[in-house]
Amino acid sequence: MKFKILLVDDEPNVLSALKRQLRGDYDVETSEDPTLAIRALNNKVPFAAVISDFRMPKMNGIEFLKEVRKRSPETTRIMLTGYADLDNAIRAVNDGHVFRFLTKPCENEVLLENLKEGVDQYELVTGKRILLEKTLKGSVELLGEITSLVKPEAGARINRVRRYVRYLAEKKGVKDFWRYDIATMLSQLGTLILPPGTLDILLEGKELNPEQLQMFEMHPVIAKSLVAKLPRLEAIAEMISYQLKGFDGSGTPRDAVKGEKIPLGGRILRIALDYDLQLQHEDNPKKAFANIEEVSELYDPELLYYLEGMLGVEARYVVKELGIDELYPGMILYEDVASTQGAMLLRKSLELDKDKIDRIHMFASKIGIKLPLLVLTSK
């Protein structure tokens, strides 16, 4: 696959000559208008490099490349101009963060060599990002699997709550949703320290004794200390640490932070986890929400409003009896999936995705499962 290159110059003849030089090695797009070229940056396939003239109407090359950097920071930026004075070069490097500054006319070999180095730089930057993302994703999935293996009830709770967090975060219009999803996946990591049965007591609606309560209140801080050790997860660790904090300032951590000063991720986790807990007690969304409303001072009022709206969305689901071949992502388990021997395999309230459906097929072929399956699906 050829890398995409964008050429911007207000002289059509220059663009044609450059395109002829480069089209054998790259997928080349051109534009005579820098303001129109900016729109091209919104394409799904990013440009590996942009070569821009300096002197152009409407917007000079430095202004244009600053905008390129803002919209596509990984794209390598090269300035090509006949006005090669020192001041322009310094401004191009400092303001536009330009990778190379070349003069016109530029020999083919020089242009190709510098462009190749620019594309290599793009590959290096994007490769590093992809490696970090895969490492991060693998680390999060590993920690989530460990949590589910050691504390199955915590793993099941994570899977239920992710749906609520996704809905509330979308309503809040967050841009970096992945942070909230990871915070949810790692929110129960600290429960690994809890004595066996502690989460079951909570889920059954019973009260913890003082020792159990003290340990339970510690679990977000423990999760924070573990998550903060992973690269780029400091903000996520902060979200996790505030999952038991009330909007009125009550709860843990016992600090002066309250209201909108609590990280949004912490506020979302608090209401999502509490709603899930109430839903396990009541097994009825309206009753569960009514219990939440009784202590409304604990929750962000806007999130409480959105949560009520979510009840209307979920009310549009109907219960269906299905075979395993009729399952598809987005359905929600209405009852536990159990083996023919009665062992619980997947807990109710989990949202199905491809991995969970594949797991159900594997269970069916290896040990057998009770059919039909009861699921919630949209009307």
Task: Choose one of 315, 342, 367: the last residue of a domain.
Answer: 315
With respect to residue 310, please indicate whether it lies within any of the assigned structural domains: yes
Report helix, strand or coil for 157. helix
- Cα separation of 101 and 116, whole Å? 14
Rounded to the nearest integer, the mean pLDDT of the chain is 83
With respect to residue 137, please indicate whether it lies within any of the assigned structural domains: no
Read off the pLDDT of residues 67-109 as tens digits, 9 standing for 90 and up: 888 888 888 888 887 765 556 666 666 665 788 888 777 777 8
Same domain, 74 and 167: no
Same domain, 184 and 235: yes
For residue 71, the domain's CATH number is 3.40.50.2300
Q: What is the pTM of this model?
A: 0.62
Read off the pLDDT of residues 268-295 as tens digits, 9 standing for 90 and up: 999 999 998 888 887 678 888 899 999 9
For residue 341, the domain's CATH number is 3.90.105
User: How many domains does the chain contain in total?
Assistant: 3
Same domain, 245 and 326: no
Provide the residue range defining the domain that includes 367. 317-379
Q: Are 179 and 265 in contact (CB under 8 A)?
A: yes
Same domain, 218 and 360: no
Task: Choose one of 90, 111, 127: the last residue of a domain.
Answer: 127
Q: How many CB atoms lie within 10 A of CB 36?
A: 11
If you ran DSSP here, which 8-state letter would residue 351 be given?
Answer: B
Residues 6+ apart with CB under 8 A from 359: 345, 346
Strand 4-8 relative to strand 27-31, pairing: parallel
pLDDT of residue 261: 94
pLDDT of residue 80: 80
With respect to residue 140, please indicate whether it lies within any of the assigned structural domains: no
If you ran DSSP here, which 8-state letter would residue 298 be given?
Answer: G
